[in-house]
Structure 1
Amino acid sequence: MLVTIFFVKDSLVKSNVSEAQNSLLTFNTIVANQVAPFITNIDNEYTFKYVDELIKQNSLEYGSRTLILNNSNEVLVDSYNVLKGTHLNNVEIENAVNGLKTSNIYIFQKDYLLYAAVPIVDRDNIVGTIFMSIDANNIFDKINKFMDKLFIIFSMAIPVSIFISIWFADIISKPIEKLTVSVKTITLGKYDTKVEIQGSDEIGELGKAFNLMTTKLYQVEERRKKFVSNVSHELRTPMTSMKIVSDTLLSSPNWDEAIYREFMLDINTEIDRLNKIIDSLLYLVRVEKDELELNYSITYVNYLLEWVIKTLNPIAHKKQIKLTLTVNNKIQIHLDQEKMQQCLLNIIGNAVKYTPEEGSVTVELEETYDWIIIKVTDTGIGIPEKDLPFIFDRFYRVDEARARKTGGTGLGLAIAQQIIQLHQGTISVKSELGNGTEVSITLPKK
């Protein structure tokens, strides 16, 4: 506000003084034009008297003091009848003698005076100078009165501004303080922390973003806990089985060889199951660290699907499930054949695994201009709608009891999704409880 007052005053002084100077120079020029024809004959009594009256009348009307000087800077006429016959020397008169119009403002003992001088020109010759001075105090008096009013207004505005600033600071700082407290709470592991959102301004948007972040963190933390729990359970199950079998073997030194072989076979099976879990976990870790590289090669997708169907047919026949492949034409694209085999074995294998006896599993291969589409449709038990968003999560199982019965690590779909994404493709699932499931895999041709 103080800076504003300074610049406003400076601007007003410059504009008002400039206006007064221009006005005085204009009036001075008018008077100079009026007296110009008479200056060369100023020594004549009647001429002098006429010019003197003209000067005094104009000076009275404009409120100025007017002097007429010859080219030697001698005062010929003074509207105050004081300086006649004296010589004057100042910047304005010197400039006028040289043909220039000049006006300046001066201060004498706190009084402001405005000087202006213009040349008197008669028939293209400079025959003298007309010099005017006026009191300029009224200019600054007006400015000072205006500035006093402005200062009063600003003085009243300052406490209002302070009050509004404190009020707004309180409005802004309180949500930030709450947000800070919530952030500190999250650092303690309480990921379900939320902040109260008020308004739709930037702070409100920040609160929404914070709540969204905490929701995601809470979900991630819950999944992490569940993941650790499931991993622990999956690893403990084969370890527990092996422990029971080994304790049983150690409990008696006289087991028959056949029993030893049966128990060792059980231990070997559990070791294979354990290795499968560990391999799957390591595979996912490598994918997440971007350490997994695809070994692309031209692959006939038809033959790849036929190989997978052939591999799974024994399991399908055992459950009397009709496993069919529908292909319209031969399609070849660049794939990592080994990894895509693993992916398809997981997906089609799940369809066979969760389809009841005498059901059917159909695999279709289609193509568009840029994509190939593999659809796996079964008449199985289906997936509840609430579980669909989570089926690609690690160790997620729709029905834990059923999953234990059918076996598996709970990592198959997670690995399948990672492989498809590495191939820059997508996988989606449609399912209805009791009415089967359809899995669609879309892969780019290029």
Structure 2
Amino acid sequence: MVSTWMFQGQKNQFIEDALLKDGKNIIEAYQSNPSAEVGPFVQSFSGLSIYSIQLYDTAGKPLLKENEPMHVEQSTIKKVLDGSIARNLYANGLPMVGVPFVVKGDSYALFLTLDQQTVKQEQASMPWVHAVYILILFIGSFLILIAARYVVNPIVQLTAATKRMAKGTFDSASLPLHRRDEIGQLSVSYHEMAQELAKLDQMRQDFVSSVSHEIQSPLTSIVGFTKALKHKKLSEESRLRYLTIIEEESERLSRLGQNLLQLSYLQQEQHPLKITAYRLDEQLRKVVITLEPLWAEKEIHMDVDLEAITVHADKDQLDQVWINLLHNAIKFTAPQGTIRIQSMEKAHHHIITVTDSGIGIPEEERSHIFEPFHKVDKARSSSVKGNGLGLSIVKQIIDLHQGEIQVSSNLGIGTAFTVTLPRKNQ
């Protein structure tokens, strides 16, 4: 309907041009045979043409017989008789034109329009055309519906998965992961994000569980021994032993709180480092001397091999790294064992290695030792103190310095931690 309305004017103009052309052809045909009577001559064309033709004389009277009367205003006829071409006329709703026709000095007006019978026949076939249009509409709509569902269904699935994720369910198995188009890429990206979020959620749950366990254990001891101290029939020796345990468990809680605060502080994205230039070898020697009571008590042999190295780093933070690494080495090294500390300078890096002859770390545990509260099973005993946060803090500090830390270990032989720092960290 819109297209018909838009092109109606062009269609009428095209019909008028065709009518004018055929009218001029009739006139030219008569002029080539001027001896014929004009009325019968034009009448013969009326029967052979798809047009309805009427010829008016000087008095404005029609000269031709016609099946359907052609209603033309006398003013229009007079205009054509005066030698003008008439356009933009309509007979029974159909375009019509008038052409002046001069025969032997007499003026005639020749009018042409489309034959109504022919138009009716054409219109009779229109329902079939409309039926085809409707069929095309339904088939096209059906195909578009299928295509739309092919495109929209994955979006619906993604939306449902997003709502499930908002409720804490990280399930993306129903997504179209094997599609090669943009929706498939989006589904794969969503699946990967869901997996990472599931891991983070599991880590969060494990973290909360570990913190609860680490806090509950010393609190239970403190509460239990505090209740025991309320009994008056306690020897002085038992009272001092209970107080000592309460003191140790309180210190354990204090260390846990300090480590949690430090780990949270280090995990902040905008954590500032106080970069200074200082001698790394001197710092390592001071750490060894600071921890001398611990390794001397176990008669551990300390092998220190340090090159003179100047680093640009946060001295206080790296102090914590070396203290934690050396403290762990002392903790898991048997009496009369050996701990070796080495430092060397490469073209672009400083390399520091802390090696012990301790119990070692199982291969399946090595990828998890830098996670908060992770403890190697062999270390889970009352004789070995710790809350599993030391190596997490070490990893955070090394990452902040854009360095790397690696571990290699053999069960029953020992463990080596290798720290690599860039030569200049501005």
Residue 231 (structure 1) aligned with residue 211 (structure 2): yes
Compared CA separation, residues 344 and 179, structure 1 to 2 (3 A): same
Aligned to 2:323: 345
**Which residue number corresponds to residue 132 of structure 1?**
112
Relative to structure 1, is the Cα distance of residues 347 and 58 closer, same or farther in structure 2, using a 3 angstrom cutoff?
farther
Q: Report how far residue 279 of structure 1 moved.
A: 1.0
Of 89, 106, 110, which aligns to 2:90?
A: 106
Tell me the amino acid that sits aligned with residue 404 of structure 2: I
Matched, 1:116 2:97: yes
Q: Which residue number corresponds to residue 23 of structure 1?
A: 18
Residue aligned with 2:300, SS:
coil
Which of 404, 407, 410 is matched with 1:427 structurally?
404
Correspondence 1:445 to 2:422: no
Aligned match of 1:324: 304
Cα distance between partner residues in 2 of 1:264 and 1:442: 44
Q: Sort the Cα spacing of 1:129 and 1:229 in 2 relative to 1 into closer, same or farther, 3 A.
A: same
Gaps of 5+ in 1: 1-5, 39-45, 122-126
* Partner Cα distance (2:330, 2:202) in 1: 31
Aligned to 1:283: 262
Q: 1:269 to 1:208 in 2, by over 3 A?
A: same
- Bigger shift: residues 276-285 or 310-319: 310-319
CA contact (8 A) 1:340 1:419 kept: yes
- Offset at residue 386 of structure 1 (A): 3.0
> Structure 2 stretches of 5 or more lacking a match?
none
TM-score norm. by structure 1 comes to 0.67
Aligned pair count?
A: 411
Does the CA-based 8 Å contact 1:321-1:360 persist in structure 2?
A: yes
2:52–2:66 contact (8 Å) kept in structure 1: no
The residue identity in structure 1 corresponding to 2:20 is L
Equivalence map 1:331-370=2 (5 Å): 331-333=310-312, 335-356=313-334, 358-366=337-345
SS of the equivalent of 1:114 reads strand
For residues 317 and 39 of structure 2, the distance between their equivalents in structure 1, rounded to whole angstroms, comes to 116
Partner of 1:395: 373
8 Å CA contact retained: 2:158, 2:187: no
Aligned 1:1-150 pairs, distance under 5 A:
6-7=1-2, 17=12, 19-31=14-26, 47=34, 49=36, 52=39, 55-66=42-53, 78-80=63-65, 88-90=74-76, 103-104=87-88, 106=90, 108=92, 112-117=93-98, 131-135=111-115, 138-139=118-119, 141-142=121-122, 145-150=125-130
Distance apart, 1:363 and its partner CA? 3.7
Provide the residue aligned with 2:273 in structure 1.
294
Deviation at 1:416, TM superposition (A): 2.3
Structure 1 SS opposite 2:75: coil
- For the 8 Å contact 1:96–1:117, the answer to whether it is kept is no
Q: What is the CA deviation profile of residues 21-55 of structure 1, one whole-angstrom value per residue up to 9, with x for unaligned ones?
A: 333233234445566x79xxxxxxx9574655654
1:295 maps to a residue whose letter is K
Deviation per residue, 1:203-240 (Å, 9 max, x gap): 87787677666655554454444333332332344344
* % identity of equivalent residues: 20
Distance 1:275 1:253 in 2: 31
Residue 270 (str. 1) matches residue 249 (str. 2) = yes
Tell whether the 8 Å contact from 1:321 to 1:352 is kept in structure 2 after alignment: no
Displacement after TM superposition at 1:413 (Å)? 1.9
Which amino acid in structure 2 is aligned with residue 151 of structure 1? A
Question: Secondary structure of 2:125's match?
Answer: helix
Q: Secondary structure at the match of 1:436?
A: strand
User: Shift in Å at residue 397 of structure 1?
Assistant: 1.1
Match of 1:42 in 2: none
Partner of 2:392: 414
SS in 2 for 1:409: coil
For the 8 Å contact 1:382–1:437, the answer to whether it is kept is no
Q: Which amino acid aligns with 2:21?
A: T
Quick one: structure 1 residues 81 and 215, their matched pair in 2 at CA, closer, same or farther if it must change by over 3 Å?
closer
CA–CA distance in structure 1, aligned partners of residues 25 and 74 of structure 2: 22
The one-letter code sitting in structure 1 at the alignment partner of 2:213 is: H
| CA RMSD, 1 decimal | 5.2
Alignment of structure 1 residues 373-392 onto 2, 5 Å? 373-379=350-356, 380-392=358-370
Once the 2 structures are TM-superposed, how far is the Cα of residue 398 of structure 1 from its aligned partner? 2.0
